Amino acid sequence: MMTKLRACTLCFALIFSLTACGDSGSSPTPDTTNNKEAGPNPDGPATDSGGGGDTTASAPTFGDIYTQVISPNCSCHLGTGHSTGLDMPDANTAFTNLVGAATGGSACSGKTRVVAGDSAQSVLYDKVTGGGNLCGSRMPLGGAALPQNLVDLVKAWIDGGAKQ
């Protein structure tokens, strides 16, 4: 048990140290010297080609959640036989064990891990934010809180319908 806990702690520390470094925040300036679209259009103003519709970004997929959030941050659940029944060794199993699934631990009894379309009622969202209706411990257990961009990704996925 202690070895497993130590391994989880080391994994979280490694993940945190590898993801803690960011860029300086400056973006390179694109080179427009050979860009024929730079500057005014010699044919006059552009016209709308139609299409209209929703211009907002689509909700993230579960593939995004698994590769960016679960796989690098939830190592205790990546195997099988977790005490709460939340095993996530691959994306398909993780999706099945999260969306619409009842929690397995006594601390969260009667709650649903992910309520599609409603992050406020989803245990997963409470677990990664540590707020609201938190039952049990904030996740990742023993590790640093998830960066806000990953918390926002989880929220967008759930509120967008928790699609696979």
Residue 39 lies in a domain: no
In this prediction, residue 56 carries a pLDDT of 60
Residue 119 lies in a domain: yes
How does pLDDT run across 95-132, given as a tens digit for each residue? 999 999 999 888 899 999 999 999 999 999 999 999 87
Q: What is the tally of structural domains in the chain?
A: 1
Q: Tell me the C-alpha distance between 79 and 89, whole Å.
A: 5
In this prediction, residue 106 carries a pLDDT of 84
Range of the domain at 110: 2-17+59-159
Listed in sequence order, the DSSP H helices in the chain are 2-19, 62-65, 71-73, 91-98, 123-129, 148-159
Longest CA span, the chain: 72
Residue with token string 């694109």 = 30
Residue 42 lies in a domain: no
Residue 51 lies in a domain: no
How does pLDDT run across 41-68, given as a tens digit for each residue? 444 444 444 444 454 678 899 999 999 9
CA distances from 34 to 29, 30, 44, 45, 55 (A): 14, 11, 20, 21, 29
Residue 52 lies in a domain: no
How does pLDDT run across 135-146, given as a tens digit for each residue? 999 999 999 999
Residue 37 lies in a domain: no
Residue 47 lies in a domain: no
Residue 32 lies in a domain: no
Q: What is the mean pLDDT of residues 82-94?
A: 94
In this prediction, residue 58 carries a pLDDT of 85
